[in-house]
Chains A and B, each alone.
Chain A
Amino acid sequence: MNQKARERLEESLGNKVSFDKQILAAYDHDIGEMPALVMSMVDNTPEAVVAADTVDDVRNCLNAARELGIPVTPRGQASSGYGGAIPTRGGIVLDMTGMNRVISMDKDNLTVDVEPGAVWDELSRQLNKSGMDNCIVPTSAPSSTVGGWFAMGGVGLGSLAYGSIRDVVQEIDVVALEGEVATLSGEEMDLHYQTCGILGVVTRLRLTCRIAEEMRPFAVALSDAAAVQAFSQAACEELTPYAISVHSPGYVGMRKEMGEDEAVPGDSFLVIIAIPVGSSDEGALRRVAVAHGGEVLADEIAHHSWNDRFYPMRIKKLGPSILVGEFYLPLDSFSSVVEEIQTDLQRDLLGMEIFVLKGGRVAVLVYILDDAGSFFYQFRMAKALRPVRAAERGGGSLYTAGLWFASRSREILGSKKYDAVTRRKKVVDPKGLLNPGKIVSPRVRFLPLFDVSTMVDLSSRLASPLAKLLIYKRPHRERVES
């Protein structure tokens, strides 16, 4: 970034902009551990970072970027691994975490207006003071932001009762690259959902809330995936669960090694059901469990598992890295797909966490222990997509696009939305300055004939058979210091 550009940014943003290379180093990645070879395909090192505190800061940043022709990558906590907040052409990172205020609460209409950097857990705490709570929260609630989740899209705890993050956002304010602020809802708002801020930067969201209600968790051990599927279907029909999550036997095993879930029977699937206390019927739960061969476990197991719901990455301590695959699946094909994955990757250190969703679907997270520092990690990485392909064969779909799956944005967003988004992009950001490389895949740096996402997709398909053969053998370690 030349001196003139620096001066222009400093002039309008003062000490909210930094060019310090050590500060910038914190913004060249997200939660994912991508191999250096993959990262080298994009220019992920920003030249400046702006820590926004107000809507004016956002507007000033976008105005300067537009005038200077410099790309801007909006960023929440970067707690998703799809590359949605990773720069692909250097430029400016717009850190939105400072805009984290609760603007207003409306208890009569059960809504809250928040800035995009509001952290889910903190928002729950604030809402609780008024007797309200978030309808849904991501499992990364202690750090992830409201705006970040809306920009990436997805589901979380409570999505069985309330749907996706899109379903609980009523209205947004968006600052366009030209600097104007628009208030959007309905289909207009939908163009900004799951599109990583490529059309504008969200500065306010109105969320639907619920009346705060204590949850009664239950833990049920089931012998196989078929029993989990049937039990979950029956539980959705006969009980009124807020959330149902499932730990595969492999995941239970990993957690046991971490000193968690030690009382869960070996080789069982663990199902955790949270039901609002007001509608909780323990007798009905027990009947459904017994009818599907399940064992209702001790309350303390249920409470411990529920209280630990925001800590799925504890198992990383065993890795030290994890390959993660994520996808949606019809609940009807859960059993067959899960069994296929378990058979396919039976030699690996594999665990799965599953969330039952509204509308007869599940979201599945596949965890494979690995070591990002090992030479073969970059080849084994292709293994994370084998479960995704098994899911697709079973009628499932990718979770979100971001950067790494941008070449498949059309199928993830749907053709109609994808076309509308790309048409709008050409109008509002013809130079592609706002979060370039997301939804529309960027060209490979130094090899512009190819686009990054297609390269990642093709190479992972080609490497997949080899990846399956490369098994990570975890070195024996004594219990790691804590």
Chain B
Amino acid sequence: MGNNRAGSSGKTNITGDLSYSVDTCARCGFCKPVCTTYPFGNGFEAFSPRAKVHYIKQVLEGKQKLTPEWVDRLYQCTTCERCVENCQTEISLVHLWEALRAETVRQGIGPMPMHAKMREAVDEYNNPYGEPKEERNKWMQPDHSPTEGAELLVFGGCTGSYRMTAMLRTGVTILQRMGIPYAYAGPNEMCCGSPILRTGQLESASRLIGTNLDLFEEMGIKEIVSPCSGCSKTIKHDYPKWAEKLNKNWSGKVQHFSELYVELLRDGRIKPTRRIEKTVTYHDPCHLGRAQRIFDEPREILRAIPGLKLVEMEFNAENARCCGAGGGVKGHYPEMAAQIADKRVLEAVETGADLLVTMCPFCQASFTQSIDKLGVNIELIGVEELLLQSVEG
């Protein structure tokens, strides 16, 4: 028990507690009705998390092999953690999928082609979009002036820096207005590694993480703040393990911007005063909510803004539906990702809110496309943008 069990395909990297947890699956299927991507499996049980665990157990026992068809199914997961939230025996299902994905890469049967392309882009440009490294700081405004030697690092992330830049720009503007010194690595900042890690491409992830860790040390960073739920999750949860693995020093505090804003609000350093007479509904990003247990902070910020009325979607907080983008799904299964995003946007529209707000550039990117496509009457905006509007009043 708990040891590596060799399957017919050789040893796997499913070991220790992860291997034990496979045995504890109660086969209850609580993960199945809540799974974001199960509905895309034509109604067949094999696409459910429960069936995937059963299959993995058989692989570990040498009764089944990892095949290209099964690997394709494995990658059809947004890593939203709704399965984890509902699991009776608390199996770390997303860790399990990610470990299996790494195993498929090791065996040469993964990742999916678009994930490999994404990795190639990261290897060359340090971001999965293939954008020029030197343009990583193009989002900055003239009044943004990072402080050399500051212990707080703003980690922009790739989507925040190149695609959906408003959250990052606003966050830095707020720091600037509060007089909080911050450092910024600009073109030296690498992708946090999240999309590469989630798709099992550990070798590239290792390079990115290692380089970022060296950068943190060189810059004397003690704290990191990021507007991205994926980056903050990865740096908060994955970097300490990788630092140990890579023999690097890292013990800094990592925050998502929502945590920092709440601290500023509670300390009375930031005071939203201008009324914003709007109704908003908040989308919990999976990697911020379920993964980091940050459910209350964004709502606390919204409630602090005078005039703003918060209405909840039916599926919210721990039960929130996914935007469809995570886990590499948007990269390789864009149509699936789009349908998932549409469903969430329509749920937001049902609340009657004027604004759909979130705190993740990746979710924001998905919803932007959905809102355009569906032509629905709801505006998309970041929580921090509302906060800044209220403060500036």
Q: How far is the CA of A25 from the CA of B32 in the complex (A)?
A: 16
- Binary interface encoding of chain A residues 113-152 relative to chain B, with 1 for a CB under 8 A from any of its CBs, else 0: 0000001011000000000000000001011100000000
A360 at the A/B interface (Cβ < 8 Å)?
no
- Tell me if A29 and B27 are in contact (CB < 8 A): yes
- Out of B20, B26, B29, B70, name the residue touching A477 (CB < 8 Å): B20
Query: Are A25 and B92 CB-contacts (below 8 A) given A18-B44, A30-B27, A317-B24?
Result: no
Contacts of A462 in B (CB 8 A): none
Contacts of A30 in B (CB 8 A): 27
B:78-115 near A, CB below 8 Å: 86, 88-90, 92, 95
- Tell me if A78 and B29 are in contact (CB < 8 A): yes
B:1-38 near A, CB below 8 Å: 1-2, 16-18, 20-21, 23-24, 26-30, 32-34
- Tell me if A482 and B46 are in contact (CB < 8 A): no
- Tell me if B44 and A142 are in contact (CB < 8 A): no
A15 at the A/B interface (Cβ < 8 Å)?
yes
Query: Are A79 and B28 CB-contacts (below 8 A) given A121-B33, A481-B18?
Result: yes
Q: How far is the CA of A98 from the CA of B40 in the complex (A)?
A: 12
Contacts of A26 in B (CB 8 A): 44-46, 48, 51, 54-55
- Tell me if B43 and A97 are in contact (CB < 8 A): yes
Contacts of B247 in A (CB 8 A): none
Q: How far is the CA of A25 from the CA of B42 in the complex (A)?
A: 16
Contacts of A482 in B (CB 8 A): 90, 92
- Out of B16, B28, B42, B67, name the residue touching A140 (CB < 8 Å): B28
Contacts of B316 in A (CB 8 A): none
Q: How far is the CA of A140 from the CA of B29 in the complex (A)?
A: 9
How many residues belonging to B are interface residues under a CB distance threshold of 8 Å?
37
- Tell me if B64 and A320 are in contact (CB < 8 A): no
Q: How far is the CA of A314 from the CA of B20 in the complex (A)?
A: 15
Closest to B84 in A: A482
A77 → B minimal CB distance (Å): 5
Instruction: Pick from A316, A321, A372 the residue with the most CB of B within 10 Å.
Output: A316
Query: Are A316 and B89 CB-contacts (below 8 A) given A27-B45, A98-B43?
Result: yes
Contacts of A311 in B (CB 8 A): 88
A16 at the A/B interface (Cβ < 8 Å)?
yes
Closest to A122 in B: B33
- Tell me if A25 and B24 are in contact (CB < 8 A): no
Q: How far is the CA of A475 from the CA of B217 in the complex (A)?
A: 42
Contacts of A20 in B (CB 8 A): 46, 69
- Tell me if A51 and B44 are in contact (CB < 8 A): yes
- Out of B30, B51, B54, B92, name the residue touching A142 (CB < 8 Å): B30
B:225-281 near A, CB below 8 Å: none
Closest to B55 in A: A25
B58 at the A/B interface (Cβ < 8 Å)?
yes
A326 at the A/B interface (Cβ < 8 Å)?
no
- Tell me if B86 and A142 are in contact (CB < 8 A): yes
- Tell me if A313 and B26 are in contact (CB < 8 A): yes
- Tell me if A79 and B64 are in contact (CB < 8 A): no
- Tell me if B1 and A475 are in contact (CB < 8 A): yes
A353 at the A/B interface (Cβ < 8 Å)?
no
- Out of B2, B51, B89, B95, name the residue touching A314 (CB < 8 Å): B89
- Tell me if B28 and A481 are in contact (CB < 8 A): no
B100 → A minimal CB distance (Å): 14
- Tell me if A143 and B33 are in contact (CB < 8 A): yes
Contacts of A103 in B (CB 8 A): none
A201 at the A/B interface (Cβ < 8 Å)?
no
A343 at the A/B interface (Cβ < 8 Å)?
no
B67 → A minimal CB distance (Å): 7
Sorted nearest first, the 9 A-B pairs with minimum C-beta distance are A51-B43, A143-B29, A481-B17, A26-B51, A320-B23, A313-B26, A98-B43, A26-B45, A482-B90
Give chain A's interface residues, CB within 8 Å of chain B.
Answer: 15-16, 18, 20, 22-23, 25-27, 29-31, 33, 49, 51-53, 77-79, 95, 97-98, 119, 121-122, 140, 142-144, 310-314, 316-317, 319-321, 371-373, 475, 477, 480-482
Give chain B's interface residues, CB within 8 Å of chain A.
Answer: 1-2, 16-18, 20-21, 23-24, 26-30, 32-34, 42-46, 48, 51, 54-55, 58, 64, 67, 69-70, 86, 88-90, 92, 95
Given A314-B88, A319-B23; 17 other pairs, CB 8 A cutoff:
A16-B42, A18-B42, A23-B46, A26-B45, A27-B45, A31-B27, A31-B29, A79-B27, A143-B33, A313-B26, A316-B24, A316-B88, A316-B89, A317-B90, A371-B1, A481-B95, A482-B90
